Amino acid sequence: MNKEWVRETVRDIPLYYNPKVTAVRMDTSTNVLGPNPVVRDVLNGCADMDLNQYPKPYSDSLREALADTYGLKPDNFVVGNGSDEVLDIIFKTFMEAGETVVAPYPSYSLHGFFVRVNGGRFATVDLDEGFRLDPDALLAERGKIIILCTPNNPTANTFDAKAVERVVREHDGPVIVDEAYGEFAESSFLPLVDDYENLIVTRTFSKAYGMAGLRVGYMASNLEMAEQLQKIKIPYSLNRISEQAAIAALRDREYVDRSVELVRREREKLSRGLDALGLAPFPSQSNFVLFQCPVPSSEVVSRLAAKGVLIRDFGKQRMLEDCARTTVGTDELNTMLLSKLKEVMEEW
C-alpha cells in the first residue's frame, strides 16, 4: 500500500498498548474483585431480550438511571461504548481540524490519540514535580479545548479542586474533566455541570463498577452542550446487554462501595510494601499506584511478567523515568505481587 494514501495527520500513530503475555493483569487499573455480580443476572435474562431489534439510539433507559443517580436530567447525559467513545465524541463535536487541545503532562495517552485522530493539535503543559496542576500555564496555552483527568492516570493523584475550578471558570472554551477513577476520589465535578457553560465530565463503568469488558461510559454537561454532543454520537453504539448491565450496576451499589473500601484499605498497605522494597510509591487517590524503581523499570516489569504478574511500565516517558504502575489488588493479590517483586529485586 502507498503510505501516502493514509491521512497525513494519522500516518504515524502507533498501535495501542497490547501486551502478548499471559499473566495476572495488574496493568489495567480495572476492578480486582472480579466481574460485577449484577451482570450475571442480566446475562441470564439475555435470551429473553429482543436482540433482533436495535437498542435505543441514545440509550434512554441508562440515561434515566444516571439522572436518578446523580440528581440531573436524562438529557444532561450522553452514553457510549466506554468513556473512550464519549471522549472521541467531544473532539468531533468541538474541534475543527488544526485546532489545539491542551492537556497536562503526564496523563492518559489516549487523550492525545483522540485529538490527533480527529485532526487536532495536542499541546501539553508539564505538571510540577509533585504532579500538581498549573492552571495559569494551562490557560496561557490558549487552546480551544482543555482536557484533564482527576485522579490523574498514571500519576494517581487528584488535582486541587480549586485549581481545576479555576480552569473551568476562566477558559473560554470546553473543559473536559475525565473522572474515569472518580469513584475512588473524595470529590467530583459531575454535580456541577449545570453551573457552567463549558464543563464536560466523563465517567466509566470500567473501573469501580467492574464492567470493563462490557464497554460502557458516559459524560454529563449542561443541556445545551449535551444536545450538541448527542447528535455526534454514533447511534446504537451501546448494545442492549451492556446498557441493561449498567442500569443494574447503578441500582445495586454494594459491589461499588465494597470496591472503593477495598482500594482505600489496601492502597496504603501496598504502598508501604513497595516502599520497603526500595520501590518509591507516589501518593495515590485512585485504584492504582505509580512507583519509581532504583533500577530500570522495563527490567522490573519484564522480570515480573516472567513470574506471571503484569504491571505497566512508564519508564521511557519523560518525567516518569523508571516508573511503573500497578493496580491496587486484594490483600492476596498484593501479597503475591510484593513477594514476586521482592524476588525480582533480590535477583537483580
Ligand X SMILES: Cc1ncc(COP(=O)(O)O)c(C=O)c1O
Applying CB under 6 A, the residues found at the interface with ligand X are 29, 82-84, 108, 149, 153, 178, 180, 204, 206, 212, 217
Please identify which residue in the block is written with the cell numbers 485546532: 99
Pick 204 or 244: Cβ nearer ligand X: 204
CB of 10 to ligand X, least distance (A): 20
Pick 88 or 344: Cβ nearer ligand X: 88
Pick 209 or 338: Cβ nearer ligand X: 209
Residues 132, 133, 137: CA angle, nearest 5 degrees: 135
Q: Coil, helix or strand for 247?
A: helix
Pick 85 or 266: Cβ nearer ligand X: 85
CB of 320 to ligand X, least distance (A): 15
Contact 7, 114 (CB under 8 A): no
CA 137 – CA 147 distance, rounded (Å)? 13
Pick 42 or 87: Cβ nearer ligand X: 87
CB of 112 to ligand X, least distance (A): 12
CB of 216 to ligand X, least distance (A): 7
Across the chain, where does the E strand assignment appear?
24-25, 77-80, 100-105, 121-126, 145-149, 175-178, 199-204, 217-220, 280-281, 288-292, 309-310, 312-313, 323-327
CB of 218 to ligand X, least distance (A): 9
Q: How many CB atoms lie within 10 A of CB 251?
A: 11
Contact 41, 255 (CB under 8 A): no
Pick 204 or 271: Cβ nearer ligand X: 204
Provide, for the chain, the percentages of residues in helix, strand and coil under a 3-state DSSP scheme, each rounded to the nearest 5. Answer: 45, 15, 40
Q: Which residues contact 244 (CB under 8 A, 6 or more apart)?
A: 42, 45, 49, 61
Quick one: which H or E segment has residue 4? none
CB of 20 to ligand X, least distance (A): 19
**Grid coordinates in use for 128?**
510540577
Which residue in the shown chain puts its C-beta closest to ligand X? 82
- Give the single-character DSSP code of 197: S
CB of 132 to ligand X, least distance (A): 17
Give the strands of the sheet with 288-292, arranged side by side. Answer: 280-281, 288-292, 323-327, 312-313
Please identify which residue in the block is written with the cell numbers 500516518: 11
Pick 144 or 325: Cβ nearer ligand X: 325
CB of 220 to ligand X, least distance (A): 14
CB of 318 to ligand X, least distance (A): 19
Pick 239 or 340: Cβ nearer ligand X: 239
Pick 182 or 273: Cβ nearer ligand X: 182
CA 85 – CA 311 distance, rounded (Å)? 25
